Amino acid sequence: MSSIPTLGQASLLPPDITLLERGWLSSNSLLLHDENQGAVLVDSGYGSHQEQTLALVQHALSPRPQPSLRLIANTHLHSDHCGGNALLSQRFGCEIAIPPGEFDAALNWDQQKLSYESTGQQCPRFKPDQILHPGSLIKQGERQWQVMAAPGHDPHSVILFEPESGVLVSADALWEHGFGIVFPAIKGEELAAEQGFAEVEASLDLIASLPARLVIPGHGPAFNDLAGALQRAHKKLDYFRKNPMRHARHAAKALIMFRLLEVGSQPRHSFVDGLIKTPVHQALWRAYFSRLDTGAWTEELLTELSHHGALKLSPEMELSAC
């Protein structure tokens, strides 16, 4: 790895919590320290960053009296949250705990159920050992982290709350400016969409009921203004609920940007070819935009992203993220 990225909002956090914040391809990772039994790592980033995640975790643990990991806990199993599981569990000899809904799929490595097949994203295979049951506690040092179900972005996602410090680990259920794509809503089925959006709302209501003083989201820096974030999230949710097609377009663009961050840069035509073959991209097109030719729709999305300054096209027709 080239350099150690800076630790996000370190000053806001209690000294027994380390936030490893990176770009969008990797989720935030969080170390919950315990000087006696070793640390818990919440989420482990994207697979292509696994060596960097390992180095960051080793670096953050090195000054500690007990520089070991005892557990990796995943808020959900999207590829950007559990791509480091395999390498880190092997290096530290630690167990992996995941939410209940996908335990069997992960155990059998059913890549279709785990979304990696449909999104075309990569995740090195790992073996889950424990279930993070909503209603249970992760006891770490003096702290008792409450595990809560927070479906919406992902039907199986959990969030963590620690009442003493008021720290909420909100995963992709709430960011400072919005929330993650509502995956159940992109299939183009009205019922699935409404259920997905209703779950987002219920998870936001759950979060609003918690006396949280500091939020550590799945992506981006930690923040204090929970009320402001909830207000923005509700506004976005209302908009998407009224315009599921806008949500689908937003989802397609988010998935394109994820892919582009992953490949770095690629000739425009091969990037478009790859996208057209990706099941989730096809499904979005079929559900919402099939009045257009799939290639034309894809080109339109790329043009829009380029107008917004999210990606650029070199004179040699190479696409890359800005």
| Interface positions with Zn ion (CB under 5 A) | 78, 172, 180
Residues 6+ apart with CB under 8 A from 16: 32, 33, 34, 141, 143
Distances in whole angstroms, Cα of residue 270 to Cα of each of 119, 276, 295: 17, 10, 12
Minimum CB distance to Zn ion, residue 81 (Å): 6
Integer Cα distance of 64 and 161 in angstroms: 24
Q: Say which DSSP state 167 is in.
A: E
d(CA 221, CA 226): 13
Q: Determine the residue with CB nearest Zn ion.
A: 78
- Min dist CB 249 to Zn ion, Å, is 19
Task: Reduce the secondary structure of 98-140 to three states and give it as a string.
Answer: ECHHHHHHHHCCCCCCCCHHHHCCCCCCCCCCEECCCCCEEEE
Q: Which is nearer to Zn ion, 33 or 78 (CB)?
A: 78
> Least distance to Zn ion from the beta carbon of 268, Å?
27
Query: Got the DSSP string for 202-250?
Result: HHHHHHHTS--SEEEESSS--BS-HHHHHHHHHHHHHHHHH-HHHHHHH
Token code pair at residue 178? 């919005």
Contact assessment for residue 216 and residue 165, using Cβ atoms and an 8 Å cutoff: no
Query: Which of residues 76 and 241 has its CB atom nearest to Zn ion in the complex?
Result: 76
Q: What does the alpha-carbon distance between residue 236 and residue 249 come to, in Å, rounded to a whole number?
A: 14
Return the number of the residue (102 or 172) whose C-beta is nearest Zn ion.
172
In the complex, minimum distance from the CB of residue 154 to Zn ion, in angstroms, rounded to a whole number: 6
Amino acid identity of residue 3, one-letter, is: S
Please report which helix (H) or strand (E) contains residue 198, including its range: helix 190-208
Q: How far is the CB of 44 from Zn ion (least distance, A)?
A: 13
